[in-house]
């Protein structure tokens, strides 16, 4: 059995800026405050949050959507990667970033708050400056 959730936040930056930052190692590290080694190529591996998160890019739609195979060091070896979909929708406040996280193991609901604390909140501060 797996679980899933969807959350979103408004970030004060345009979709092009956010998409680019998500897939650039130095910008991703800067916007989250933790080391990331990411790629803007399909099938390329990535790590984020000082190696706590790892995975690979499955689908990249510039300025619109990123789909990744995603896991943390808390996944057991027998647990498959989860599926992370990041959607960028332009709105009056900048961009609505939607996180659809699915195929998570039963302990995966902790990541819902993790997206807020470790991505959305730091991104709002980073892009506001």
Question: pLDDT digits over 31-49, tens only?
Answer: 999 999 999 999 999 999 9
Q: What is the predicted pLDDT for the residue at 129?
A: 62
Q: How many CB atoms lie within 10 A of CB 85?
A: 17
Q: Which domains does the chain have, with CATH numbers?
A: 3-128 (3.30.530.20)
pTM of the model: 0.94
The residues, any chain, with a CB within 8 Å of residue 84's CB and separated by 6 or more, are: 55, 66, 67, 68, 69, 70, 99, 100, 101
C-beta separation of 28 from 39 below 8 A: no
Q: What is the predicted pLDDT for the residue at 93?
A: 78
Q: What is the pLDDT of residues 70-120, one digit of tens each?
A: 999 999 999 999 999 999 999 887 999 999 999 999 999 999 999 999 999
Number of H helices, E strands in the chain: 4, 6
Average pLDDT value for residue range 5-19: 97
């Amino acid at each position: 059995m797996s679980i899933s959730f969807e959350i979103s936040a408004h970030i004060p930056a345009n979709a092009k800026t956010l998409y680019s930052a998500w897939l650039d190692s130095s910008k991703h590290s800067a916007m989250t405050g933790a080391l990331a080694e990411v790629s803007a190529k399909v099938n390329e591996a990535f790590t984020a949050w000082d190696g706590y998160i790892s995975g690979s890019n499955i689908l990249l739609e510039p300025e619109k959507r990123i789909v990744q195979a995603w896991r943390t060091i808390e996944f057991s070896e027998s647990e498959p990667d989860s599926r992370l979909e990041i959607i960028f929708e332009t709105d009056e406040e900048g961009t609505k970033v939607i996180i659809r996280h699915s195929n998570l193991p039963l302990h995966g609901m902790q990541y819902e708050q993790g997206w807020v604390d470790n991505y959305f909140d730091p991104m709002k501060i980073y892009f506001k400056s």
